[in-house]
Amino acid sequence: MSMQEQAYLTTEEAAGYLRLGERKLYELVASGGVPCTKVSGKWLFPRAALDRWLEAGLARPDGLRLAEPPPIIGGSQDSLLEVAVRDSHCGLALLAEGSQAGLDRLVRGEVSIAAIHLHATPDDDGANPAAVRAEPGLHDAVVIGFARREQGLLVAPGNPLGLSGLVSAVERRARFARRQKGAGAQLLLESLIAREGVPAPSLTLAEGICATGQDLALAIRTGRADCGIASRAIAGAFGLEFLPLVWEHVDLAMRRRSYFEPATQRLLAWMRGPAMAARARELGGYDLSQSGAVRLNR
């Protein structure tokens, strides 16, 4: 396998790839200036992240502007965000593929904003800013709080299996609906299962992958799955029982120049108005105390 095909490079390979001496590369590692990870005492360098790091540092001639990203909010699906985009008449489109997919598209310039709810550990308030800060290609990013929302275990009406939480769902072999890899709800499920000390292979999984929270709720409603992780608002919209688990941040990550675009400003203005609070109350399971706050400014 050639170096161009390798996902992770050793220190020697990374130094050659970057045309640097190994001593200089170690200096960058020590200062946190280059993307890398340590496995069993050895440094590894993700080649894709190195490419983005190089791209972010390109010198650009005067008059050469960066291509404007399309007016799209990628990333996580959220019921209140859908209302906000529609009722604010901001002109932004929505592309719900999961938090990590949205963040990846933001790095590549394929969306203007990424809606994210990432999880390093349960109830980790700093997970979203930390994920953006770790992206070398987002050196000019800001993270704006959209809302905190309640996430829980969705089950069929009447809770026919008598589930009380994740552990009982595993013990009773309830079929878990799955989200795609990198979706915030899937990351949350994995984190909560790890915290409870439940081996991941012991989960009984329903067939198929649910692209959004609505898809997951529909799988439970139609009997294809017994339970799954989603928001209280989704549970209410589909008439499902909701077993609360955690509150989490849904944030809007964007490049600094996108923050000042008219479409973004129209959305943020609507978020500051009374309509946002009214719709949040109708949907249920939202806390707007940090809505609009700057959570990270790189």
Cα-based torsion angle of the residue sequence 92, 95, 99, 102 in order, rounded to the nearest 10 degrees:
-80
pLDDT at 64: 47
In three-state secondary structure terms, 271 is: helix
pTM for the structure as a whole: 0.78
Question: Per-residue pLDDT tens for 214-267?
Answer: 999 999 999 999 999 999 999 999 999 999 999 999 999 999 999 999 999 999
Look at residue 145 and tell me whether its pLDDT is greater than 70.
yes
What is the reported pLDDT for 139? Answer: 84
Q: Express each pLDDT in 61-78 by its tens digit.
A: 555 455 689 999 999 999
pLDDT at 121: 67
Is residue 27 within 8 A of residue 35, CB to CB? The reply is: no
Distances in whole angstroms, Cα of residue 71 to Cα of each of 56, 64, 254 = 21, 21, 11
Q: What domains sit in the chain, N to C, each tagged with a CATH number?
A: 3-55 (3.90.105), 72-145+249-297 (3.40.190.10), 151-247 (3.40.190.10)
Cβ atoms of 227 and 178 within 8 Å: the answer is: no
